[in-house]
Amino acid sequence: MKPFKGERIFTPGPVEIPDRIREVLGRQIIHHRTPEFTEAFLETRELFKQLVDCKEDNFVFFASSGTGAMEASVLNFFEEGDKVIAVVGGKFGERWVELGKRWKLKVVELEVEWGKSVDPEAVERLLKENPDTKGVLVQASETSTGVYHDIKALADITRDSDALLVVDAITALGVYSIKPHEWGVDVLVSGSQKAFMLPPGLSMLWFSERAKSQLTDRAYYFNVREELKKQTEGQTAFTPAISLILGLREALLILLEEGMDKVESRYRLISKGMERAMETLGLSIFPKNPSISLTTVKPEDISSEALRKEMLKLGVRVAGGQGKLKGRIFRISHMGMDITDMPVVLSVLEIALKRLGYRVEFGSSVGAYLEAISAGLGYE
Binding-site annotation: residue ranges for substrate:
331
Piece of the chain touching its own copies by CB under 8 A; list 24-32, 160-168, 285-293, 367-375: 24-32
Strands, E assignment, the chain: 8-10, 59-62, 83-88, 106-111, 133-139, 141-142, 147-148, 164-168, 187-191, 203-207, 284-285, 294-298, 316-318, 330-333
The DSSP secondary structure of 279-342, one letter per residue, reads: HHHT-EE--SSB-TTEEEEE-SSS-HHHHHHHHHHTTEEEB---GGGTTT-EEEE-TT--GGGH
User: Which helix (H) or strand (E) covers residue 171, if one does?
Assistant: none
Q: Does 215 bind its own copies (CB under 8 A)?
A: no
307 near 299, Cβ under 8 Å? yes
Q: Does 254 bind its own copies (CB under 8 A)?
A: no
Site for its own copies in 63-92 (CB under 8 A): 63-68, 71
Site for its own copies in 83-142 (CB under 8 A): 98-99, 102-103
Q: Does 262 bind its own copies (CB under 8 A)?
A: no
Piece of the chain touching its own copies by CB under 8 A; list 25-33, 84-92, 339-347, 372-380: 25-33
Q: How far is the CB of 281 from its own copies (least distance, A)?
A: 24
* CB nearer its own copies, residue 26 or residue 357: 26
Q: Does 282 bind its own copies (CB under 8 A)?
A: no
Q: Does 239 bind its own copies (CB under 8 A)?
A: yes
Distances in Å between the Cα of 331 and the Cα atoms of 143, 193, 307, 313, 317 are 9, 16, 11, 17, 10
* Alpha-carbon span 196 to 214, nearest angstrom: 29
| Packing angle, helices 242-258 and 260-281, rounded to 10 | 80
Q: How far is the CB of 322 from its own copies (least distance, A)?
A: 9
* CB nearer its own copies, residue 13 or residue 115: 13
Preceding amide of 14 cis, omega within 30: yes
Q: Does 290 bind its own copies (CB under 8 A)?
A: no
Annotated binding site: 331
User: Which ranges of 78-116 does DSSP label H, i.e. alpha helix?
Assistant: 91-102
Q: Does 235 bind its own copies (CB under 8 A)?
A: no
Piece of the chain touching its own copies by CB under 8 A; list 84-92, 173-181, 242-250, 360-368: 242-250
* CB nearer its own copies, residue 205 or residue 241: 241
* CB nearer its own copies, residue 237 or residue 346: 237
Q: How far is the CB of 368 from its own copies (least distance, A)?
A: 28
Piece of the chain touching its own copies by CB under 8 A; list 15-23, 38-46, 161-169, 370-378: 15-23
Q: How far is the CB of 232 from its own copies (least distance, A)?
A: 19
| Interacting residue with its own copies among 3, 34, 50, 324 (CB under 8 A) | 34
Instruction: Calculate the CA 39 to chain-centre distance.
Output: 28
| Interacting residue with its own copies among 23, 129, 361, 371 (CB under 8 A) | 23
| Interacting residue with its own copies among 1, 2, 26, 261 (CB under 8 A) | 26
* Alpha-carbon span 304 to 311, nearest angstrom: 10
Q: Does 28 bind its own copies (CB under 8 A)?
A: yes
Q: Does 244 bind its own copies (CB under 8 A)?
A: yes
* Alpha-carbon span 230 to 237, nearest angstrom: 6
Distances in Å between the Cα of 290 and the Cα atoms of 6, 141, 147, 214, 371 are 30, 9, 5, 33, 20
Neighbours of 380 (CB within 10 A): 3
Residue ranges binding its own copies (CB under 8 A)? 6-7, 9, 11, 13-17, 22-23, 25-32, 34, 63-68, 71, 98-99, 102-103, 191, 193, 199-202, 220-222, 238-244, 317
